Amino acid sequence: MEADLRLAHLYPKLMNLYGDRGNILCLRRRCQQRGIALTVDELELGDTLDPNAYDLIFMGGAQDREQRRVAEDLLETKAEALHQAVAEGVVLLAVCGGYQLLGRYYRPAAGEELAGVGIFDAWTEHPGADVKRFIGNVVVRWQGGTLVGFENHGGRTYLEPGARPLATVISGFGNNGRDGSEGAMQGENAFGTYLHGSLLPKNPRFADHLIAQALKRRHSEVALSPLDDALEERAHAEAVGLAKKKLGFLRR
Amino acid sequence: MSAVSSLRTAAAVTTAKVTAVVSRRLGFGGGTALPGLVADAVSPGLAIRLAARLGHGSVLITGTNGKTTTARLARNIAQAAGYWPVHNHSGSNLMRGITACLVEATDARGQLTQPDRRLGVFEVDEATLPEAAEALSPRVVAFTNLFRDQLDRYGEVDSVAAVWRQALATLPSSITVVLNADDPSVAGLADACRGPVLFYAVSDASCAVYEIEHAADARWCPACGREYSYSAVFYGHVGHWVCPGCGRARPAADVQAIKVEQSPDHPLRLALSTPSGEIDLSLPLIGLYNAYNALAAVGVGLALGVPADAIRTGAASFTAAFGRQERMTVRGREVQTILAKNPAGLNQVLRAISAEEGTKNLLFLLNDDIADGRDISWIWDVDFEMLAGQATLVLASGRRAADMALRLKYADIGAHPVIEEDTESALEMALALTPEGERLYVVPTYTAMLKVRKLLARWGRRPPFWEED
Ligand SMILES: [Zn+2]
């Protein structure tokens, strides 16, 4: 397959809390092995986003201090372009803090509410510094299979009717620990999730889902040749196993 | 002290001592934390009362990486100066571990032997610093560096720095604080200090790397928000930094490494310039990060008023802690075990390994117990890529062996990674597959290291760690 894809990595220096770089390494490798040339542009504070220049956009998570600066920069320099890109089918993946900031707003435990970009019809609130964070391994059901990762977030995210859950929680907390939902999908091409760890290397099916969608839009070709995913599948299966052990499934 | 309180202290000490013996007999490990826990339950405040009897007070050493090595080196320096240190050498660095080691230094009646010669040299967990500073009334507090480490346990690096600042602001102005000038997060603590500050730094820019690593954590100036600029980066975000926005910059250092020499199979050689004159050191350690540990320890020595000669003698008697950087021979193979806890530390370990000649035999052990951090996503922040193509043998072990193997596959470090979750089998396999006469590098996370050193101690006929020194 002779094809190319272009990815915009938003704030790789500021939003890089939980090995988010692994997601980029994964996309790059899975493209490379199939002869797809993936170029990655890193966009930091102040850089403008050209909505027509990319097929994929990725954004990771950050510390609180950085999150506030990024929220301001997003609204000033990138919000409009993000909306345009997503409306035109560009594939977007936002993890943890990135997912929160691309919702409508984030209400912190203390201090001012942060206005979000509003890509996801969802909002997030932090219930207070004394309320426990959602920390731990996560397994969710996605498209007849599973996704695995780790979550660590104080904010609780709630979806409005315009968005639908990315997945349903099997083990862990997910969006808010109440309704069993994890992550969000807006349309068919914008994905938000709390799963880090890194997400994509251990969930190759999800990584290929993103690549295939981006390819289809740009080259109207979707056949992805299979790769040797033995190690990927093993890491995935063991993460599922650890979660099930915790739930006591294995005793039946 | 009242008779009742004295009795309580004695009872607590006895109970704790018995617990230590029982715990060791039952094979619970070094028996280093459990007696502290028991002593605490019997007599709250035991650590405070015992610490108050240390004739020369105590030194606290904290930071993300290098605590254990720095504290051991400072302990040796103190010994050479004639002190009789009380030191939590097993690395048990929460309050209960420190209490346990104070208890161990007492006799059967709960009295410290030779109290007038005693100096506490304690490595302290980052989050435990406020509690330890309050309980132990230190004379000197030293900081190594600040990096992300177990975000699920400590929280973000900003919150660790805030906890340290609060602790420093409550200390009396008679205390000397020893700070790393090259780590902007640590150097910045000077603002919160009320007494004298002693800065240490590496001024030899010839060992700098060219770009900031992925494991850098302090990239932005807290005062004005601009990104620091570096004329030299030594590791992570440690280097010669300046803020182009407000001009905040690396402070002038009192203790400086003016020359750092590292060569494969040779110890780390340092030429230090200090207020007490030049001091040359040679240490059985690899990696530039250990130059910083040595500087911090020398800073502690100088803050205590130790003369240059005793610093030289103390450093010369140094041996690495088991599992930190030790080399030993097992079944005809040289085995080097190096602990890896977080991205910045592991990057330094990998840099040191890749600097050695020849192809490498590698065993990585990744656990996700509470002491390791439940979240293993940090392995994706490590630049394993620097070992690309260098390894002929790659084994992944531990509870998260498959995750480690996958990360290593991505780094293309040479051989296809082999997975063996069980520590003992993995170690057996690694030894069998390492050609005789070659070196095997074993890189475990904390809880994996505990298992590894038990096995290696048995196979290499070396005393277990709590009988060390
Ligand atoms: Zn500044």
Higher pLDDT, B456 or B122: B122
Query: What residue ranges define each of the domains in chain B, with the CATH number in brackets?
Result: 54-316 (3.40.1190.10), 324-459 (3.90.190.20)
Distance from CA of B406 to the nearest CA of A (A): 6
DSSP assignment of A54-102 equals -SEEEE----HHHHHHHHHHIIIIIHHHHHHHHHTT-EEEEETHHHHHT
Each domain of chain A, given as residue ranges in start order, spans 3-251
Question: Are the beta carbons of A232 and B380 separated by less than 8 Å?
Answer: no
- Fold assignment, A3-251: Rossmann fold (3.40.50)
CA distance A242 to B446: 20
The whole-angstrom distance between B364's CA and the closest CA on chain A is 15
**DSSP annotation string for A25-57:** HHHHHHHHTTTEEEEEEEE-TT----TTS-SEE
**Cα–Cα dist A230/A224, whole Å:** 17
- Average pLDDT score over chain B: 87
B409 and A CB contact within 8 Å: yes
pLDDT reading at B450 higher than 60: yes
* SS3 at position B324: coil
Q: Would you call B209 helix, strand, or coil by DSSP?
A: strand
Tell me the average pLDDT across B233-253.
94
* pLDDT higher than threshold 60 for residue B468: no
**Could A235 and B375 be called an inter-chain contact, meaning their C-beta atoms sit closer than 8 Å?**
no
Q: Which of A9, A153, A196, A236 is catalytic?
A: A196
Contact by Cβ (8 Å): B68, B148: no
How are strands ordered across the β-sheet holding A156-159?
A: A114-115, A105-107, A122-125, A156-159
| B29: pLDDT strictly greater than 60 | no
Q: Is B374 on the interface with A (CB under 8 A)?
A: yes
Compute the Cα dihedral for A103, A104, A107, A112 and give only its sign. Answer: positive
Question: Do B380 and A64 make contact, defined as CB atoms within 8 angstroms?
Answer: no
For residue B92, the model assigns a pLDDT of 86
A96 is catalytic: yes
For residue A218 the two structure tokens come to: 């740009």
Question: Is the CB of A55 inside 8 Å of chain B's CB atoms?
Answer: no
Are B402 and A22 in contact (CB < 8 Å)? no
pLDDT tens for chain A, 252 residues long, are 578 999 999 999 888 877 889 999 999 999 999 999 999 999 999 999 999 999 999 999 877 777 888 999 999 999 999 999 999 999 999 999 999 999 999 998 888 899 999 999 999 999 988 899 999 999 999 999 999 999 999 999 999 999 999 999 999 999 999 999 999 999 999 999 999 988 999 999 999 999 999 999 998 877 899 999 999 999 999 999 988 777 665 443
Q: Which residues sit opposite B259 in a β-bridge?
A: B271
Test mutation, B403, B409, B421, chain A, max A CBs within 10 A: B403
CB A107 within 8 A of CB A124: yes
Q: What distance in angstroms lies between residue B125's CA and the mean position of ligand 1's atoms?
A: 29
Which residues have C-beta within 8 Å of that of residue A121, sequence separation ≥ 6? A103, A104, A159, A160, A161, A162, A163, A184, A186
pLDDT at A111: 83
CA distance B419 to B204: 41
Task: Tell me the residue type at A150.
Answer: F
CB contacts, 8 Å: B403 with chain A: 202, 235, 238-239
Confidence of residue B469 (pLDDT cuts 50, 70, 90): very low
Q: Which residues of A touch B223 (CB under 8 A)?
A: none
Contact map slice: A 3-42 vs B, CB within 8 A: 13, 16-22, 25-26, 29
**Both structure tokens of B63:** 């930071």
The angle formed by the CA atoms of residues A38, A44 and A46, to the nearest 5 degrees, is 130
Q: Report the chain A residue with the minimal C-alpha distance to residue B343.
A: A19
H or E element in which residue B326 lies: strand B325-330
Q: How many helices (DSSP H) and strands (DSSP E) are in chain A? A: 7, 14
Residue B242 C-alpha to ligand 1 middle, in angstroms? 8
Paired residues of A39 in beta bridges: A6
SS3 label, residue B257: strand
CA of B464 to the centre of ligand 1 (A): 49
Cα–Cα distances in Å, from B326 out to A158, B318, B338?
51, 12, 7
| Contact across the interface for B402 and A238, Cβ inside 8 Å | yes
pLDDT for the residue B266: 61
Averaged over B19-37, what is the pLDDT? 56
Residue B72 has pLDDT above 80, yes or no: yes
Q: Do A29 and B410 touch (CB under 8 A)?
A: yes
Alpha-helical (H) ranges within B171-223 are 184-187
Q: Is A209 one of the catalytic residues? A: no
Neighbour-count burial for B93-124, b at 16+ CB within 10 Å, e otherwise: bbbbbbbbbbbbbbeeebbbeebeebbbbbbb
Residue B457: both structure tokens together: 């101690």
Q: Which of A61-65, A118-122, B109-113, B270-274 has the lowest mean pLDDT?
A: A61-65
Pairwise CA distance, residues B257 & B234, whole Å? 12
Chain B residue with Cα closest to A68: B225
- B185 alpha carbon to ligand 1 midpoint, in Å? 13
pLDDT for the residue B385: 95
B324, pLDDT greater than 80: no
Q: In this complex, do B403 and A239 lie within 8 Å of one another by their Cβ atoms?
A: yes
Instruction: Give the mean pLDDT of B55-77.
Output: 95
Q: In chain A, how long is the greatest CA-to-CA distance?
A: 55
Cα–Cα distance measured from residue A30 to residue B176, given in angstroms and rounded to the nearest whole number: 54
Residue B38: the pLDDT is 63
Q: How far is A217 from chain B (nearest CA, A)?
A: 28
- pLDDT single digits (tens) B159-217: 899 999 999 999 999 999 999 999 999 999 999 999 999 999 999 998 887 677 776 77
As given in the structure block, the two tokens for residue A187 are 């349309």
On whether the CB atoms of residues B373 and B150 are closer than 8 A, the answer is: yes
pTM of the model: 0.83
Q: Which of A13, A26, A150 sits opposite B375 (nearest CB)?
A: A150
What is the biggest distance separating any 2 CA atoms in chain B, rounded to whole angstroms?
68
Write the pLDDT tens digit of every residue in B336-381: 888 888 888 898 889 888 888 888 999 999 999 988 889 999 999 9
Report chain B residues whose CB lies below 8 A from the CB of A19.
377-381
Token pair belonging to B258: 């003016």
Decide if B379 and A19 are in contact by the 8 Å CB cutoff: yes
**What mean pLDDT comes out for the span B53-80?**
95
Q: Does the pLDDT value for residue B13 go beyond 90? A: no
CB contact under 8 A, B377 and A196: yes
Kindly name the residue from A26, A31, A96, A153 that is annotated as catalytic: A96
A186-190, B4-8, B292-296, B379-383: least confidently modelled range: B4-8
Using an 8 Å CB-CB cutoff, list chain A residues near B148: 17
Contacts of B177 (CB under 8 A, 6+ apart): B140, B141, B142, B143, B168, B171, B189, B190, B193, B195, B196, B197, B198
The answer to whether residue B465 scores a pLDDT higher than 50 is: no
CA distance A14 to A66: 6
Per the CB < 8 Å rule, is B225 touching A64? no
ipTM of the complex: 0.95
Compute the nearest-CA separation of B184 from chain A (Å): 17
Q: Please give the pLDDT value at position B387.
A: 94
Question: Mean per-residue pLDDT for B37-50?
Answer: 72
**What confidence score (pLDDT) does residue B434 get?**
96
**Residues 6+ positions from B102 with CB-CB distance below 8 Å:** B46, B47, B50, B51, B86, B120
**How many whole angstroms from B248 Cα to the centroid of ligand 1?**
6
Give yes or no for a contact between B229 and B241, defined as CB atoms under 8 angstroms apart.
Answer: yes
The SS3 assignment for B351 reads helix
> Which residues from B are below 8 Å from A64, CB to CB?
156, 158
What does the pLDDT read at residue B85? 96
Residues in contact with A15: Cβ distance below 8 Å, sequence separation at least 6, in sequence order: A59, A60, A61, A62, A66, A70, A97, A98
DSSP letters along B53-95, please?
A: T-TT-EEEEE-SS-HHHHHHHHHHHHHHTT-EEEE-TT---SH
The answer to whether A152 contacts B403, with C-beta atoms less than 8 Å apart, is no
Q: Which of B220, B227, B406 sits opposite A235 (nearest CB)?
A: B406
Size of interface A-B (CB pairs under 8 A): 82
